[in-house]
Amino acid sequence: MKFEDYRISAGIKNNLKKQGFRRPTDIQYKAIPPILKGEDVLAIAQTGTGKTAAFAIPVINKLMELKRKAPFHGVACLVMVPTHELAQQVHAVFDNLAKGTNISATCIFGGVAQEPQIEKLKKGADILIATPGRMFDLVSQGHLKLHKTKILILDEADHMLDLGFIKDIRDLTRFLPKNRQTLFFSATINDKIKKLAYSLVKKPIRIQVSPKNPVAKNIDHNVAFIEMDDKRFFLERLIKENEEAKVLVFVRTKVRAERVKKAMERVGIHSNTIHSDKEQEERDAVMHEFKTGEVKILIATDISARGIDFPNVDYVVNYDLPEQAENYVHRVGRTGRGNQRGKAISFCSKEEIQILDEVEGFLGKEITVMEIGKNDYWETIEFTEDTDDNWKALLKEASREEKKKRKSR
């Protein structure tokens, strides 16, 4: 089936054609018809499979039809997302698909001044993409009215419904009409979150299940057993042996991201970091530089693991394994998107072996081990250009001492 065969507006079809989209992906094929019919949907699909367009296409079409029948004013569709970057990305998808139609979209998020966002809302928006904090601020201040909202969408639903957000989402429903359509989209969802999702709707949710393998097939997975203090040397070597590659490096904390960046600087590797301590303007600049390839190395916390579409990422490196096994899926989903192949390499220290077991349990299979012989291991450490703590001199001294011991035996 092609998009031209769908009963959607000619304007949307034209926009899809301009963007090179001819046929729907699996999640789009399965989700678009029930959304057009007004059904509630719980959609679970692998990252990089076009989930945003799967709800944006039918929602824009539904709102166009509603406007033709009875013109309305105010936010008709609310899309909730967990991060600033995802809000901007989802907004861009809606904008591109709604060009030339009578449907408008805007987005609001924290970390920036709220006045410009309030002005946009005053001008009117049919679709609002929002992060929870800023949305509740503007609702409580009376700048945002949701009593006419007809569609609620939770993107990255598992994260939106975790313990940090569930109270906010329940509070949100008090401002929304009871008679509404509710859509949940995510790459992963567990039984607990599924129950919470069911509790937020009155009628049964139509569930679209992704394949048993939660990760796209065009990603090669490897794990290397590396001591925690040695990881920087292996990252340096990987980057220098793949100079043209775009590499997204995931670490566990903001502090660790900055430390890894400094370690790379000492060996002549230019990189950027992105995490929640950065101002929104700086985060936008970092995202732009990485997306365009101006900077090829980005060191990130899990703030960038969910839903963000980075084009042409060659390697995802789990410098630290994620605290939650399911985040592995979101991280590695930044590569191997669409028809492109990608590589995911995880550095696993002794302290992280239990986490690796949990990740493999979540995936339902073992990750291929990169065998590193002792000679290769030490060659990698000696390969470094890092002069911090005079590593090379210390290694050479240790090697001489080891040789002396062997001779004296």
DSSP string, 89-147: HHHHHHHHHTTTSS--EEEE-SSS-SHHHHHHHHH--SEEEE-HHHHHHHHHTTS---T
Closest by alpha carbon to 94, among 83, 104, 85? 104
Dist CA 102 CA 405 (whole Å): 81
For the cut 60, the answer to whether the pLDDT of residue 188 exceeds it is: yes
Q: Architecture of 219-391 per CATH?
A: 3-Layer(aba) Sandwich (3.40)
pLDDT band at 27 (very low <50, low <70, confident <90, very high): confident
pLDDT band at 363 (very low <50, low <70, confident <90, very high): confident
User: If 0-12 CB within 10 Å is exposed, 13-18 middle and 19+ buried, where does residue 55 land?
Assistant: buried
pLDDT band at 208 (very low <50, low <70, confident <90, very high): low
Where do we find the tokens 């839903």? 307
- What are 97-107's pLDDT values in tens digits? 999 999 999 99
Q: Decide if 3-208 and 219-391 have a common fold.
A: yes
Where do we find the tokens 């239990």? 354
Dist CA 133 CA 173 (whole Å): 15
Candidate from 9-18, 70-79, 166-175, 345-354 with smallest mean pLDDT: 166-175
Over range 71-86, report the average pLDDT.
Answer: 89
pLDDT band at 210 (very low <50, low <70, confident <90, very high): low
Dist CA 172 CA 204 (whole Å): 20
CATH superfamily for 3-208 is P-loop containing nucleotide triphosphate hydrolases (3.40.50.300)
Dist CA 6 CA 316 (whole Å): 36
Question: Can you give the residue ranges of every domain in the chain?
Answer: 3-208, 219-391
CB atoms within 10 A of CB 323: 11
Q: For the whole prediction, is pTM greater than 0.75? A: no
